[in-house]
Structure formats: C-alpha cells, structure tokens
Structure 1
Amino acid sequence: MTQSAFRAQLLTFNGDPAQSSHAAAFSEDGLLIVEDGHVVAAGAYAALSSQLAPGTHVEEMRDKLIVPGFIDTHIHYPQTDMIASPAPGLLPWLDTYTFPTERGFKDPAVAADTANFFVDELLACGTTTALVYCTVHKESADALFTASEARNLRTVAGKVLMDRNCPEFLRDTAQSGYEDSAELIGRWHNRGRQMYALTPRFAPTSTEAQLEACGVLAREHPDVFIQSHVAENTDEVKWVASLFPGHRSYLDIYDHYGLLRRRAVYGHCIYLDDEDRRRMAETGTVASHCPTSNLFLGSGLFDFDKAGETGMPVALATDVGGGTSFSMLQTMNEAHKVARLTGHHLTATRMFWLATAGAAEALDLADKVGTLAPKSEADFVVLDPQATPLLARRTSRTNTLEELLFAFALLGDDRAIFETYAAGQRVHRRDAARGGDRSGNETRKAA
C-alpha cells in the first residue's frame, strides 16, 4: 500500500491532563504517516522522516494543527431539522417539536435525506465518531448506518425503544422493540466500522417489561453499547420517581435492569448523588456531558468536581437538537463556562482530551479511535488557526499549547476545521464545502 504523510503541528494524548502534566504529546514540527487506513507513526518530523517510504508524498501544512477526530457521545440525528426550537423546558420541547418531527422517519426517503445531511455536518465540524439516537423506526437506523458506512465512519447508533408516555405513532412494544433491536444488531453491529447501541429513550417512555427486554438483549450481546438519558431535568426526575416507586434513584432503575456497564453511556447526569456517581465509576458507565443542551433547556449545571472525586467516566457531547451546535469546539466553549459556574477550571487541554482520547477510553474504543498512536484508525482533523481574522489574531499571540487550544475552544467553530479524515480518507475539506461539495471534489485516500 502507498503511504501518505502530513507535516504539521501534532497533538495526541497518553493520559488525562487532569492527572498528569505530561499527558499531552505535542510536536510543533510533526509528521503523521498513514497507510491502509491506519496510523503508521506520529511524532517529531526530525525523528520520523527516515521512516517514509520512497516516493511518499508529504502534505505540507506546518501552519496547521492535526488532532485526533472528535468523538460526540450523545446526539440525535432526527432532531437535525428542529434544532433551535423554542420551548419553556425539556418536557414541553419533546411534545411540541421532537415527537412530531420524529414521526416522519418511518419514511426511508426522509430518514436517508436527514442522515446524509447529518453525517456531512458532523464531518464539517471535525466529528468522526458519534453515538447517535435514531427514532423508534428501524428505517431510521438503517438510513443512518448506510450514510455512515458510505463514508467509512466509526459510528455507534440505535433504534429508540419507547412503549409508553409518547404519541401512539411513535410507540413500539416490549416485544417489537426487542425483535427490531435484535434484527438491527444482526445487520449492523461490527459490520465494518458500524456498531450498535441499545437505546431506551429514557426511563419514563419505557415500561418495566421493555427495560427488562433491553436487559436481556444486553446480556445476549455483551459487546453492544447502551445509551439513554438520566437526571437531566428536575421535572423529569420527579416524574421518574412517581413512575418507578421503590428505587433508590433514577440511575438505580437502569442498574436494576442490568443496563450499567462498560459501553453504557448516559446523557446529562446532572442530578445524581455521590452514590450514583460511585456506581457509575464501579461499572464503567459513562456520563455524557451536554453543556449547550443543558443551557438551552435550562436543565442545570454538570459538576466536574464531584465527577472527579468519584472517578465517574466523563465525555463531551453536543446533544443536537437540544444542543445548539454540531461543533465540538463550541461544545468545549460552553463546557468551560458551565464548569466555571460550579467553581471548576476546565482547561482546554483537558477538553480536547475529553473529546478525543478520553472519550475513546471511556467508550472502550481506545485501541481504535481518539488517538494518533500507531495501528489506530486514521481518523483525524486538521485545524486552521487562521480560520477567521479574530482567531488568527489571537493565535498569533499564543505562547503555550494551552493558550492555543483555549483559543480554538473559545473562538473556534466549523470554520476552524480545514480538513477531516476518516480511516485515512479525506471526507471533508472546508474550502470545497463552501463551494458546494462538502466532501471535496478531489477526495483522496491516505492509503
């Protein structure tokens, strides 16, 4: 296979920046070598240039920064077209906008059109792996996986399970949900880079029978993912307590049905207590922090200090369409501010870790994505510090890596994404996208 190589500033991680001052591995003049969709080597150009195969073309972009592709751990693709919809809170927002919009995804053409736009929007924002909620319809999951597979992305997704407290037109049953999920697992899980997630929307929209069926599927398929919502909103928490009397907490409901484990990811996790957080840490269950959504819906503030004290795994997420941006850079922006409001200083270096290697580690995918380590899948993003006049002016005055990353996180958005690569292939180029071809007319493989 022919090698491809990129000479740029490089950033990857070998640990959590909150625990080690040497966790960030940064090369000011770096070289990334890619072959057959995987990383061959990444590090200082002076140390690695001798490893280049004869005739290898080196893409010169020394004024740009290459980082691992971003990982979004909680997002709803059917909500793409209702993003930025006004409502006084979570539950009215669901009834007024979310459920009516999701009704249309029974139609494969609607699902396919939205899925293709959604995936291209992720790539335009530098997101190469996402944990995605579909709708209750099998067709919606098929459409999303088809769009992802066409671009060879590492995607985790699942059909929503919802058999009560929702409109009849979105309701399945414990049995049909079990059968549909089993069928989709057989069709898509571990097919290329596609992976499946059992997806009960949240406890209030599933009966005990449906949660039990979901637990059975989880035991039958120990390597699939599980995703849902927990403790997002105070009204929601009260509602759950009335629907499930006798449980110690909202999280305890999922625990009761065997839905806390490695590869289980729960959105929001705002109104947990320390016992909940310790239980998540014990089981390896991930808290997906969704700052733009939590602010938009007025849900509350995630507490990084309490998460850290208990060792609860944490990752970042956009939560579109409650979230207001597909950009993980914009998500970092809001995450920093949310943390400040709870008295926590969240550094940019740690935010980049949370959106890349930290997320991959939490999701049990550290050997595949989130890193530029040798043999990892070559998913990476080329960031442009001169993407806007203000960003260029600020980054020209940065003196440390933290200052540079902080500028990207606080001032950056999709315009800062120069190129996005998935499995060594360029799947987005900013200038081409602005000309109307989002993937670029000259898409080439880093073979």
Structure 2
Amino acid sequence: MALIFRGTLVQCITPRSIEILEDHILRVNEDGFISDIYPYAGGESPKHFPGDPEIIQMPPFTFLFPGFCDLHLHAAQFLYMGSGLHLPLMRWLDEYAYKAEERLDKDPALARAVYCRLAQRLVENGTTSTLLFGTIGEETNLILAKAFQDAGIRGFVGKLSMDISSRPSYTEHSAAESVAAAKGFIKKCKALVAPLPAHRRLVHPVITPRFVPTCSEPLLQDLAVLASEECVRVQSHLAEARDMIDYVSKEYGVSDFEIFKRTGLLRDNAVYAHCTYLTDLQMSELSRRKVSIANCPLSNCYFSSEPFRGREAIDLGVNVALGTDVAGGYSIDMMNSMRHAVTVSKIRDGQAAEEDSSKSLVVDWIESLYLATRGGAAALGLGDLHGTFTVGAAFDAQMVQLVDPESHFGKGALDFFDTNPSKAITLEHIEKWWCMGDEKNRIGLWVQGRNVWPQVTKT
C-alpha cells in the first residue's frame, strides 16, 4: 500500500546545511520508493490520490528525518554490552568478546534471542541500516541475517574470518577452512532473500576478516579474491589501539595498513573501523581507493589512546561515517555517537588552537547528522539518493516529535516555552533534539516504505 505524509521534512543536503521543508506532501509507492514530493499549500489534497493510500498527517512540531546508518556494530557483543570497559583492547577481547561469540555459536536459541532483541533496540533508536560483525559460526550468522530481515531493517552481515586466535576453541583452523566457510555463508545469505524482489532484500553478506592479529596473510589474500568474485563488501578494524598496533608491529614487522594494502583489501567497497593512528598520507590513500572509515568515538575513548582525526579525514576526501561499536561502545543510540564525535572534535580543536588557531578541527552537529545518514549510506553502497527525501529514493525514515500535541509540553527530555502551533520548526528546535532527544521523541520508523516501529495509526 502507498503512503502519503503531510508535514515537515528535514534532511542534510550537504555536510554543512540542513534543509527544512514545511508543510510538504511526500508520497511513497508500494515498492517503498518516494514517488512525489511537493509543497502542500494550494496543491492537490492528499486524499485525492487514486486507490486507498495510508494517509499520515503530522501534528505541529513533528518532522520526518532520514533513518540512521550504524557502520560498525558487533552483534554478538550485544550480549554483554556495558561490561569490562576498564580493560585494554586485547585483554577485553580475550575475557569478553571471544567467549560471548563462542557461546552464541553453541546456542542457537540464545543467538536468536540476542539478535531479535538487538534489531528491536536499533529500530527504537532510529537505525535503519547496520553494518554488522557476527561470529565465526556460519549458521549463527544466518540466524542474525534472518532476524534483521524479519525485523524489516537493513543488515549487512559479516561472518567473521579468523584463522588465528588466543582462544584455541574459537578459531578456524586454516585459511582454506576459513575461506570455505565465508564462501558458504555468502551463498546461504544470498539464498535467504533470493525469493524476494530486489528492493525487499534487506540483508547482505560482507567479507569480514576480524583484524590483522587474527588473520594470516594467505587468508587475507584469499578473502580479497573472494570479495571480487562474489561482489560483496569488506569490513575490518584498522589502526585502532596502541596494544593492537604494537602487537602487529612485533609479529609482522609492518603496520596493519600495509598488510591490508598488500593483500588487496583496501578496496572501494570496504569500510574500516577506528583508523585513529593513520597518517595524512594513509588517509589520502584511503580516499584515492574510495575506502570508507567508520568513526566510533565512544569506543575510541575506551580502547584507543588517540582520537580519530575526523576533520582531517573529511578534508582529505575520505568518506567518513559513524558507528556505535557495540560493545566497545556501551550505547546503541547513534545520536550518542554523533554527540561524542562532535565533543571529541571540539576537544581536539581546543588543544590545536594553543599551537595554531588558523584551522578549525571541529565537526559540528549538522555535519554529524550528515555522517550518520548520507555518509553511512555512501559507505554501504546504498546509492546517491539514500538518506534524502528525493523522488526515486528508498523511503528509510524516522518520525520525530518534539512537542506532545495534547499537553503542548516538550516531549521526553525536551522543554520548550514558545510552541505556538502556527510557528514553524526552526534550526534551533532541531539542534535541541540533536543535543537532548532520545527514543521518546521517535514515534515512527520506516524502512523501504514499511512501518517497522511502532505501528502508526491511519487517519
């Protein structure tokens, strides 16, 4: 069934600007693509569209905004989110991550419960697309893929590849075994959604070498070949933490950047998380190779002694997106990722100003919204129109309400003292939502035109 919305649309057209479209009609066709968009004033009544479309009239101080894209999340680690963050990265992986992932691989019922709950939490928080790290278990990752397809949200699912491990019971025992398992998962994941029309296939397999310390060079080389053969995306961690970097340098004699480069995995459909220790020269190379970076500012604060140099990466032409990095990050809310990204950039700017105040290092709140929508969509290869309200774009959107229409008080944590219904939504209203809003302000979420949370009442 087609959808028709009347109300305010808000979107990031460029990294530095927000467009507010007051009192517009937006129509979504039965396949979930935007088919019409125009100002309502003096226009055709939405009830005159043919057929029996669902009509959603947005009250004052309510707007549609594109859904968020989370570019780095460890699905199995949702099991213990908010635990062990006092540890350095390599110890944390040994004491928490590997154990949790192995546990889910051995317990399909638990995996199903964790992944279904994860999907629910994501839609509550406005996330419509997620790039996921799974486990090494082929069938467990199919449970993850099915949970996201059933929940109606986009999931790019990575079956972990790792033929080296500090936990002997949690590893693939050779490069050949690991590649065969990755190939099997890709085939089964594609088969899971093959009966559906292309626009309804919400889950996709992703080549996922965990990181250099758990992967032999032969494995990385073979995974690069597999990514080309199967035309699938690649994801991993890169230049993340001091203890990881020291380990790679000691074991391999070069950086993980050089290893990924010489094995063919720095490619135009790849997303690398963290990248806090990359030089300008290395980031320029990522830009040339069209590699995207997933900035995870909260987990960087815990596991990296360096902040991500976001302003420099963006100015060097790297496509930067944002991730929560659950469970290295303790919040599944992309709004917190945006806030932390801005905060870190402001601290960096203040420190840099003591030496040279000629160049700002700030990533501001508007730019963070762009990174969380259009930046993420670009990294996932969803198309130039994704993350916008444009004819032809897939309708992945959240409905945000700032003021309760009955009490006229600000909703959730928001307080307003000048909310005359005849007044328009302003940039200041949106900034306040960005700073203080939460799931209480989100009253609807759609992916490919389908309402996935909660069910919105027809009018």
TM over 0.5: yes
1:407 has 2:408 as partner: no
- Equivalent residue for 1:280, pick from 286, 304, 308: 286
Residue in 1 aligned with 2:251? Answer: 243
Q: Is the 8 A contact 1:286 1:363 kept in 2?
A: no
What per-residue deviation string (whole Å, max 9, x for no partner) do you get for residues 37-85 of structure 1? 2211234333764576145443111321211111000001101121111
Q: Structure 1: any 5+ residue segments left out of the alignment?
A: 430-439
Tell me which residue corresponds to 2:64.
66
Q: 2:104 touches 2:140 (CA, 8 Å); kept in 1?
A: yes
Secondary structure at the counterpart of residue 393 of structure 1: coil
- 1:394 positional shift: 7.8
Instruction: Give SS of 1:170's match.
Output: coil
Q: How does 1:204-223 map to 2 (within 5 A)?
A: 204-221=213-230, 223=231
Note the C-alpha offset of 1:370.
1.9
Amino acid at match of 1:242: K
Structure 2 letter corresponding to 1:155: G
SS of aligned partner of 1:168:
coil
1:111-162: CA deviations, max 9, x gaps? Answer: 1111111111111111010000001111221011101111332221111011
Which residue of the partner structure matches residue 53 of structure 1?
49
Separation in 1 of the partners of 2:141 and 2:247?
29
Amino acid aligned to 2:396: D
- Residues 327-385 of structure 1, C-alpha deviation per residue, up to 9 Å, x if partnerless? 11111111110111111332222111111122212332125732222222221101122
CA distance in 1: counterparts of 2:225 and 2:235, whole angstroms = 15
Percent of aligned positions that are identical: 29
CA contact (8 A) 1:75 1:320 kept: yes
Structure 1 match to 2:197: none
**After superposition, where does 1:315-334 map in structure 2 within 5 Å?**
315-334=321-340
CA RMSD of aligned residues (A): 2.4
Matching of residue 257 in structure 1 with residue 230 in structure 2:
no
Look up the SS of the partner of 2:346 in the other structure: helix
Structure 1 residue 416: Cα displacement? 2.5
Which of 225, 230, 246 lines up with 2:233 in the alignment?
A: 225
Find the structure with the greater CA-based Rg: 2
Question: Contact 1:329–1:408 at 8 Å: present in 2 too?
Answer: no
Does the Cα contact within 8 Å between 1:177 and 1:210 map onto a contact in 2?
Answer: yes
- Indicate whether 1:12 and 2:11 are aligned: yes
Query: Residues 23-422 of structure 1 correspond to what in structure 2 (within 5 A)?
Result: 24-36=18-30, 37-46=32-41, 49=44, 53-54=49-50, 56-62=53-59, 63-86=61-84, 87-106=86-105, 107-172=107-172, 173-189=174-190, 191=194, 192-221=201-230, 223-245=231-253, 247=254, 249-297=255-303, 299-343=305-349, 344-367=361-384, 369-386=386-403, 388-393=411-416, 401-422=426-447
Native 8 Å contact 2:377 2:387 kept in 1: yes
Q: Deviations along 1:166-211, whole A, 9 cap, x unmatched?
A: 3122101311211111112122247422211100111101111211
Kept after mapping to 2: 8 A contact 1:427/1:443: no
Deviations 1:306-333 (A, max 9, x none): 1133111100111111111111111111
TM-score normalised according to structure 1 size: 0.89
Secondary structure in structure 2 of the residue aligned to 1:156: strand
TM-score (norm 2): 0.86
Count of aligned pairs: 425
Contact 2:412-2:438 within 8 A present in 1 as well: no
Aligned residues of 2:413 and 2:438 also touching (Cα < 8 A) = no
Q: Are the structure 2 counterparts of residues 414 and 389 from structure 1 closer, same or farther at C-alpha, using a change threshold of 3 Å?
A: closer
SS of 1:271's partner is: coil
Per-residue Cα deviation, 1:371-421 (whole angstroms, up to 9, x for no partner): 222222221101122364541338959998543332222212222222111
Does the 8 A contact of 1:33 with 1:40 survive in 2?
Answer: yes
